[in-house]
Amino acid sequence: MRLNLDIDENTPIQQIYSDSFKKRNLFISIKRDDQLHPLLSGNKWRKLKYNLLEMQRLGKTELVTFGGAFSNHIYACAAAGKLFNIQTHGIIRGPHLDSNNPTLQFAAQYGMQLKAVTRLEYKKRHDHDYLAKLQQRFPNAYILPEGGTNQAAIPGCKELAESLPDHDYLICPTGSGGTLAGLIEGRKTSTEILGIAVLKQAEYLINEIKALSPKACQQTNWQLLTQFHDGGYGKFSAQLWQFCKQMQSEYQLPLEPIYSGKMMYALWQLIEQDYFPSGSKIIAVHTGGLQGLSGLEYLKRI
């Protein structure tokens, strides 16, 4: 198998202007990685790229991965399967597959074999014995963890950080920590890197990030901010969703409230709290995931 992973990663950087930034002398821009590819957006591609190369190196021809029913990762893996001619298998946190769920519909259309498992079985997704049995069941498969975060996810996110112009603060949403770990790897210590945890009680991620990034162990130029979860993973307040809509109408910046919107809302609050010194150049990474909006519409949550 020879993969042609020729995807243009040179996404635009959008400047955002407001009186509040002007008054504080702050320069805010957004790395529009949501525009990376219509189906392989943002950090999903950044994390997949070197995993696909690793899969090729190992001579594997299929991909097995895990996700919730509305997962951006499942969506992106199914799309990658179609684009690069890889048979994909999605193990979905069940207990049932809802055939009307737009993410799962997309994944099935793009050739992913879906299997719902009970929540109890899903909990075993990191267990050594469970994964060994799965490998026996799919001997030709490369097994990719939920969210696409592992050691091979790091270089793609590092490349994103290296591609950016000079700035003082870099900010991203954090779920499993892979993206933040890669950004830490790719920046000099003069940049302060902030991960906005999108889930509750996320302090445990600090050790996971350190396990993924040697620089995160040695350097102090990064932080995981855990106070902006807005109720927990997948939860969001009416104010947060209102903020997302306002960003769309004022700046033509599309956001969803689970990752990118939560991060931008946190950034706005930090600005209002005068967290950033005058003159700071701040880049926020839009990590994509806009497909999630159709799931929220389907669930009538927006």
Q: What are the residues binding ligand PLP (CB under 6 A)?
A: 42-43, 72-73, 147, 149, 173-180, 259, 287-289
Query: Quick one: tokens of 1?
Result: 């198998």
Judged by beta carbon, residue 49 or residue 73, the one nearer ligand PLP is: 73
How near is the Cβ of 177 to ligand PLP at its closest, in Å? 5
Q: How many residues does the chain have?
A: 302
Residue at shortest CB range from ligand PLP: 289
Judged by beta carbon, residue 147 or residue 254, the one nearer ligand PLP is: 147
**Distance of alpha carbon 252 from alpha carbon 298, whole angstroms:** 23
How near is the Cβ of 141 to ligand PLP at its closest, in Å? 21
How near is the Cβ of 288 to ligand PLP at its closest, in Å? 5
How near is the Cβ of 278 to ligand PLP at its closest, in Å? 29
Judged by beta carbon, residue 102 or residue 178, the one nearer ligand PLP is: 178
Judged by beta carbon, residue 26 or residue 179, the one nearer ligand PLP is: 179
**Distance of alpha carbon 179 from alpha carbon 211, whole angstroms:** 13
> Which single residue is written with the structure tokens 């993924």?
212
How near is the Cβ of 181 to ligand PLP at its closest, in Å? 8
Judged by beta carbon, residue 264 or residue 271, the one nearer ligand PLP is: 264
HSE (CB half, 13 Å, CA atoms) of 42?
25
**Distance of alpha carbon 71 from alpha carbon 158, whole angstroms:** 23
Tell me if 46 sits within 8 A of 160, measured CB to CB: yes
The closest alpha carbon to 287, from 195, 201, 191, 203, belongs to 195
Query: Quick one: tokens of 200?
Result: 């509750």
